[in-house]
Structure 1
Amino acid sequence: MDIKNSVDLIESYLDLDRKPVGIKFFFDKDEFENFEIPQRNSKVTYCNSVQLASKGSAMKLTKENQACPNGAMALKMKEVPEPMANGKGRFSKNIYKDVETSKSISDEMQFLKEEPVGIVVMPLEDYKEDPDVVVMVSSPYNIMRMIQGHGYFNGYTNNLKTVGLQAVCHDLTTYPYNTGDINITLLCPGTRLVADWQVDEIGMGIPFEKWNEVVMGVKETTNPFERNDKKKGIEKRLKERGLDASGIKFNENYDDGSYTGGKIDIG
């Protein structure tokens, strides 16, 4: 399916407050310069650029635009300083109990291995060519549904990695890019400050090659996992977009008849 159709589907099957964001790395200067969206004319943290794109903005970023040293390190636009690499930097701020634990965090993070000429950050629906990573920040419920969509085709999610630091730049971007696997994050204090995410939002990063699969998995697991009230909203959004809603089945779920002792009225 094309990118626009995939976004129409996920925005129908999930009630999203933010747009899925596509991230594309450029390693060729001419290709980057010829990509027809505006170059950011001031500094911005990478995570805030993602937040802005989730509300409709589109921008190209270079090394000169990076406002956060940790984000720049993850994106290979700044070298990792020795105090960060050896663990002494974070340990000195009392984030971890000892230098060894602090160093293990740096050792485990998977940053870009090659410095890009530039990065495009914009709503996924605006791409005509494939991005590298899709980032979604949403409610825990919607991220749960995305995990279930991934599980439909792939089974158990074994490789989730997060520690409450470098949440958007590493957890949602460079880790999925490097591993080819999905990841989730509970975000981190830094991005919650500078990008102003809502207190109940978490994130998911998806390599683009897995994006359509996850979207189709969400669609296929709608009838077993969604309750009637959610299904009514899905049906309405599908019809509003001119999409087929005939597959929505009410009054059936994966756990029908499983519980004893009564249940609340959930519609």
Structure 2
Amino acid sequence: MTSTTETVDYAASAAALTSLLGLSGSPVAIRFAATKETIPEGIEEVPETIRHCGMVSLARKEGKIFYATADKHLCNGGAWSLGLRPITQSLKDGEFYYKLGKFESDASCKRTIDQIPHLEPCTTYATMYAPLGKTPFIPHVIMIIANPFAMLKLAQASLYHLGGRLHPSFAGIQSVCADVTALTYLSGEMNISLGCDGSRKFSGIAPDEMVMGFPAERLDEIVDALRIVCAAPGSQKK
């Protein structure tokens, strides 16, 4: 694992991930800022009001570096799961996703919402985003959006040293915000999600792409193991 963040070469790690996995966009660095003072000087606030998944896309596809306070987050579910705002009543009681036709009843929706990973409300001042290779801040979460083959290699890299099994957790909603940002940050574990309808619609996740997040502390470990598993004799090449 990465022991001191000062020694991490983010540019080299991003280049390795992109090459080894055949990524069509940059890995994304994400950090939770508890106060305004913890945002590095020179990082500007995102000018428009958009969703977290859309912000990820700005860093991934356009190379933009920025932060977003609660009032810049368009999606209430995303803002809540990331600790920026309290949960709305329509989310809490199951009405929101029930009306979207995602559940048979508001009760089944509420059971799902009650298990959505989320930071404590209003503990996050802003979320920060950057393409990994150019990040001016120390990330909390590294996010990768890629095809299933790339996810296979990342899963193998994650298990290379200690083995075991991965236990992905998702519900078909709030994939980019709750599943691979909030849960990864809270659990310290890699998580893979399918990409929900909203994130696919608003952030350009392709039909053949999935979403994955891992703790930034594991970056060096993951990259080193990825080089090995991708070159292994039994490894199918991309």
Q: TM-score range by the shorter chain?
A: 0.7 to 0.9
The match for 2:178 among 170, 173, 176 is: 170
Q: Is the 8 A contact 2:144 2:213 kept in 1?
A: yes
CA distance in 1, matches of 2:161, 2:108: 35
1:5 and 2:17 aligned? no
Secondary structure in structure 1 of the residue aligned to 2:30: strand
After TM superposition, give the deviation of residue 157 of structure 1 in Å.
3.2
Residue 224 of structure 1 corresponds to 233
Q: How does 1:1-267 map to 2 (within 5 A)?
A: 1-32=8-39, 34-55=40-61, 56-113=63-120, 114-222=122-230, 223-227=232-236, 230=238
- What is the aligned length? 228
Deviation above 6 Å: which 4+ runs of structure 1? Answer: none
CA distance in 2, matches of 1:82, 1:26: 26
Q: CA RMSD in A?
A: 1.8
Larger Rg: 1
Q: Unaligned stretches of 5+ in structure 1?
A: 231-267
After TM superposition, give the deviation of residue 119 of structure 1 in Å.
1.5
After TM superposition, give the deviation of residue 76 of structure 1 in Å.
2.0
Q: Unaligned stretches of 5+ in structure 2?
A: 1-7
Summarize deviations over 1:208-235 as a string: whole Å, max 9, x none: 11222221221121223434x65xxxxx
**Alignment TM-score, normalising by the size of structure 1:** 0.79
After TM superposition, give the deviation of residue 95 of structure 1 in Å.
1.9
Summarize deviations over 1:155-203 as a string: whole Å, max 9, x none: 2333310111001011110010011011111101111111122111111
Secondary structure in structure 1 of the residue aligned to 2:179: helix
CA distance in 2, matches of 1:158, 1:226: 19
Summarize deviations over 1:136-173 as a string: whole Å, max 9, x none: 00111111111111011242333310111001011110
CA distance in 1, matches of 2:22, 2:202: 25
Q: Percent identity?
A: 25
After TM superposition, give the deviation of residue 89 of structure 1 in Å.
3.7
Q: Is the 8 A contact 1:159 1:181 kept in 2?
A: no
Summarize deviations over 1:66-102 as a string: whole Å, max 9, x none: 1112111112222112332233443344322334422
Secondary structure in structure 1 of the residue aligned to 2:123: coil
Q: Is the 8 A contact 2:155 2:166 kept in 1?
A: no
CA distance in 2, matches of 1:82, 1:157: 37
Larger RCO (CA under 8 A, 6+ residues apart)? 2
